[in-house]
Chain A
Amino acid sequence: MLGVRPATRSARPTTTMLRMMLALLLVLVAGCSSGSSGATSEAPPATDPSPPLVYVAMGGIETLNSDRDDLPDNWPQIVLAEHLPAGAVYVNLATEGGTVKSGLDGQLPEARDLHATVATIWFESADLRLGTATRVYHDELATLVEDLQADGVKVVLVRSGVWIGDPPPLPATVAVVAGDTGATLVDLGDISDRNDDAGQRRIATQVAAAIGAG
């Protein structure tokens, strides 16, 4: 090796610099290797482990509301929209001239097919109009409620009316059946505003509270 001028400066800073460079290189390489794995999106977890809440509205025209135009403001629809959780299912099984008998024969099997978990029952005007005997009304309504309850359905009985003194026989029977079966009773009182949106909302609020979804 040819003789050259010896380094006049200390070798220590230079060595330190080279070490730092080496360390930097190692850090960079380590960073590269850890950053090389590409991220892929994970499959989102499955949900809805519990069975959905299935609400069936049984009854006559008071529940069907076929005499009203505004579907979104019908009381069972408001119960679904504003009081039941997402994923809840609602089917209105009511018929225009629905009586307790028709409920027992037609609506009950449908409620079972739907695996209902909550049911509201409001048979009133058609039975009043047809003059259904109180005893028959009681027995059929009680059977309807008990059959639903036997399937684990939470039953809410609804009645309306404003009376002076004792209620007429059929509305009074609803309360008796509720007492006999343990079903929840919703006493709406005066429903002369039933065709109004405000009246529907009032009914929805009371029914939702009885369902326990309020």
Chain B
Amino acid sequence: MSWRDAIALAVKTVRRRPGRAVLTVLAVTLAASLLTALLTISTTAETRVLNQLSSGGPLAGIKVAAAEPDPGQVDQDNASPGDPKSLDDAALQRIQDLPDVREVIPIVSTRMFVITRARDKDDHRIAPFPEDVVGVDLTKINQLPITLTAGRLPTPGSLSEVAVTQGYLERLGLERLDAPQVVGTALEMASGQVVPNERVRGRWTKFTIVGVVAQEASNGQFLASTEVVDQARDWASAGIDASRALDLPTSPYTGLFVVARGIDNVSKVRAQITAIGYSTAAPENLLASVRRYLRVVEIVLSAVGLIALVVAALGISNAMLAAVRERRREIGVLKAIGARDRDVYRVFLVEAGTLGFLGGVLGTALGWLIAAMVGRVVNGYLAAQRLVGVQLTLPWMVVVGGIVGSTVLALLAGTLPAVRAARLPAREAVSGT
């Protein structure tokens, strides 16, 4: 019997018992889809997420402060800045020109006087208070380590919107979960200008709080557009002896957020910025820990998928053994008309392999579909957070592994039934004893 005959016979047999075939294929499909989905998600988490973030995201970001570097800062995620040092356009350009720097995002901040009409949890008025307002280019917010917990971020260039941090909630005596309460409320903020007679004149602006963020781009409870901070600084600096009277910062930029070209370049860029002479901080140790955890998650998820696949293979074996028992007479007839043991063996093996292959193909496709759906949900969440979405890709190893693995496992599972069928004596088989 040729392989072609064996395949034709196996297909015919499968078609004669569609119910069993469908159920067996379904078991393999589900197992393969589980394995494919888990592997795709975990692989994406490790490679795509980390790589995407590193090519323009917070994990590849280095915070540069307007300060001298701490000598040992490269070994620490959050080093203590040294003495203040002006961070100007020239310094920004030098850092921008470093070969492994993808982008430099300036951060400016200024101290403003704040009046909130909100009341604390005991219904007391909040006394006016001074606080730092951090201004960033909001068109590049995706690359900053800022996550929304409620509302949205201010629109780029807005002179009427701010986001607040957890610190503002604490000032109001609110918990993190209460964040939506402050969204939509208003506050007034002023920068001061020293006028004659030692008076300070405020330039007040009414702002709407549009969101609450979990982290701070720099020290300060308010996040706004660069334009808000620039206007406040211009107003303050136009006063009499402004820098001395109001203790205004002398550095044009409060800090920089430097995005390296890939996570692997973070250390190198940090060292180069340190050499230029500025204090830096980067989540390098955090990143290493994240990678380790992702690897563990991948192993665990793979194990879960493999167990499912083995269970499915046992199902194939069980179905094939049942088929051998049911088809004793057919096996006997085959042998009576000249089929050899290896021909019978081949028919059953091909049948098992066909079921495994079909299940593998369908399961891999279904698994990819599930992973894509999960990816869409994740991307929807990331988009709401104004963060870069992840692009899900199906590694070819997972496709090949899913289909070939299912087929091989099915062949292994079908070996025992095939051997039993092949060794069945023709006379016993025909007589059905």
Pick the contact of B330: A4, A37, A40 (CB < 8 A).
Answer: A4
Q: Answer whether residue A165 sits at the interface, using C-beta atoms and an 8 A cutoff.
A: no
Chain A window 63-92, contacts with chain B (Cβ cutoff 8 Å), 1 for yes, 0 for no: 000000001100001001100111111111
Closest residue on chain A to residue B158 by CB atoms: A47
Q: Answer whether residue A14 sits at the interface, using C-beta atoms and an 8 A cutoff.
A: yes
Q: Knowing A14-B16, A36-B372, A91-B204, say if A80 contacts B155 (CB, 8 Å).
A: no
**CB <8 Å contact, A77 and B115:** yes
**CB <8 Å contact, A36 and B392:** yes
User: Smallest Cβ distance from A204 to chain B, in angstroms?
Assistant: 13
Contacts of B128 in A (CB 8 A): 71-72
**CB <8 Å contact, A44 and B386:** yes
Closest residue on chain A to residue B374 by CB atoms: A35
Q: Answer whether residue A43 sits at the interface, using C-beta atoms and an 8 A cutoff.
A: yes
Contacts of A93 in B (CB 8 A): 201
**CB <8 Å contact, B156 and A91:** no
Q: Answer whether residue A131 sits at the interface, using C-beta atoms and an 8 A cutoff.
A: no
Chain A window 1-30, contacts with chain B (Cβ cutoff 8 Å), 1 for yes, 0 for no: 111110111010111011001001100110
B183-208 contacts to A (CB < 8 Å): 186, 188, 201-208
**CB <8 Å contact, B115 and A41:** no
Contacts of B380 in A (CB 8 A): 39
Chain B window 378-415, contacts with chain A (Cβ cutoff 8 Å), 1 for yes, 0 for no: 01101101111111111000000000000000000000
Bound: A208/B365 CA distance, A: 65
Closest residue on chain A to residue B155 by CB atoms: A47
Q: Knowing A36-B393, A40-B389, A72-B115, say if A85 contacts B376 (CB, 8 Å).
A: no
Q: Answer whether residue A212 sits at the interface, using C-beta atoms and an 8 A cutoff.
A: no
Bound: A93/B333 CA distance, A: 109
User: Smallest Cβ distance from A60 to chain B, in angstroms?
Assistant: 14
Q: Answer whether residue B24 sits at the interface, using C-beta atoms and an 8 A cutoff.
A: no
Which of A1, A2, A92: most chain B CB closer than 10 A?
A: A2
Closest residue on chain A to residue B381 by CB atoms: A39
Bound: A91/B231 CA distance, A: 13
**CB <8 Å contact, B369 and A44:** no
SS of A interface (majority): loop
Pick the contact of A31: B8, B204, B372 (CB < 8 A).
Answer: B372
User: Smallest Cβ distance from B147 to chain A, in angstroms?
Assistant: 12
Chain B window 67-97, contacts with chain A (Cβ cutoff 8 Å), 1 for yes, 0 for no: 0000000000000000000000000000000
Give the size category of B's interface with A: 35 or more
**CB <8 Å contact, A38 and B390:** yes
Q: Knowing A21-B362, A77-B115, say if A4 contacts B369 (CB, 8 Å).
A: no
Closest residue on chain B to residue A13 by CB atoms: B18
Closest residue on chain A to residue B368 by CB atoms: A32
Contacts of A150 in B (CB 8 A): none
Contacts of B152 in A (CB 8 A): 44
Q: Answer whether residue A179 sits at the interface, using C-beta atoms and an 8 A cutoff.
A: no
**CB <8 Å contact, B330 and A35:** no
Bound: A41/B142 CA distance, A: 8
Q: Knowing A45-B155, A87-B160, say if A5 contacts B372 (CB, 8 Å).
A: no
Pick the contact of B388: A31, A41, A48 (CB < 8 A).
Answer: A41
**CB <8 Å contact, A25 and B156:** no
Q: Answer whether residue B5 sits at the interface, using C-beta atoms and an 8 A cutoff.
A: yes
Q: Answer whether residue A46 sits at the interface, using C-beta atoms and an 8 A cutoff.
A: yes
Q: Answer whether residue A52 sits at the interface, using C-beta atoms and an 8 A cutoff.
A: yes
B1-57 contacts to A (CB < 8 Å): 1, 5, 8-9, 12, 15-16, 18, 22, 25
**CB <8 Å contact, B18 and A38:** no
Bound: A15/B12 CA distance, A: 11
Chain B window 329-368, contacts with chain A (Cβ cutoff 8 Å), 1 for yes, 0 for no: 0100110011100000000000000000010011001101
User: Smallest Cβ distance from A82 to chain B, in angstroms?
Assistant: 8
**CB <8 Å contact, B382 and A81:** no
Q: Knowing A37-B391, A44-B155, say if A91 contacts B206 (CB, 8 Å).
A: no
**CB <8 Å contact, A31 and B369:** yes
Contacts of A32 in B (CB 8 A): 365, 368-369, 372, 394
Q: Knowing A2-B334, A41-B387, A46-B157, say if A9 contacts B369 (CB, 8 Å).
A: no
Pick the contact of A86: B5, B25, B125, B206 (CB < 8 A).
Answer: B206
Bound: A29/B385 CA distance, A: 30
Q: Answer whether residue B159 sits at the interface, using C-beta atoms and an 8 A cutoff.
A: yes
Closest residue on chain A to residue B358 by CB atoms: A21
Pick the contact of B203: A2, A5, A36, A89 (CB < 8 A).
Answer: A89
Bound: A21/B379 CA distance, A: 30
**CB <8 Å contact, A2 and B389:** no
User: Smallest Cβ distance from A28 to chain B, in angstroms?
Assistant: 4
**CB <8 Å contact, B361 and A35:** no
User: Smallest Cβ distance from A178 to chain B, in angstroms?
Assistant: 26
Contacts of B315 in A (CB 8 A): none
Q: Answer whether residue B161 sits at the interface, using C-beta atoms and an 8 A cutoff.
A: yes
**CB <8 Å contact, B156 and A43:** yes
**CB <8 Å contact, B158 and A2:** no
Given contact pairs A25-B361, A81-B188, A88-B206, a sample of 18 additional A-B residue pairs in the complex whose CB atoms are under 8 Å apart? A2-B5, A2-B9, A7-B16, A11-B15, A15-B15, A24-B362, A25-B362, A28-B366, A32-B394, A35-B376, A40-B379, A43-B156, A44-B152, A86-B186, A87-B207, A89-B203, A89-B205, A92-B201
- Chain B residues at the A interface, C-beta cutoff of 8 Å: 1, 5, 8-9, 12, 15-16, 18, 22, 25, 115, 117, 125, 128, 138-139, 142, 152-153, 155-161, 186, 188, 201-208, 330, 333-334, 337-339, 358, 361-362, 365-366, 368-369, 372-373, 375-376, 379-380, 382-383, 385-394
Pull 28 A–B residue pairs with CB atoms less than 8 Å apart, ordered by A: A2-B9, A4-B12, A4-B334, A5-B330, A7-B12, A21-B25, A25-B362, A32-B369, A32-B394, A38-B391, A38-B392, A39-B389, A40-B142, A41-B388, A43-B139, A46-B155, A47-B156, A47-B158, A48-B160, A52-B160, A81-B188, A81-B206, A89-B203, A90-B204, A90-B206, A91-B201, A91-B203, A92-B201
Query: What 8 A-B pairs are tightest by C-beta distance, nearest first?
Result: A38-B391, A87-B160, A35-B372, A39-B379, A28-B365, A14-B15, A39-B389, A86-B160
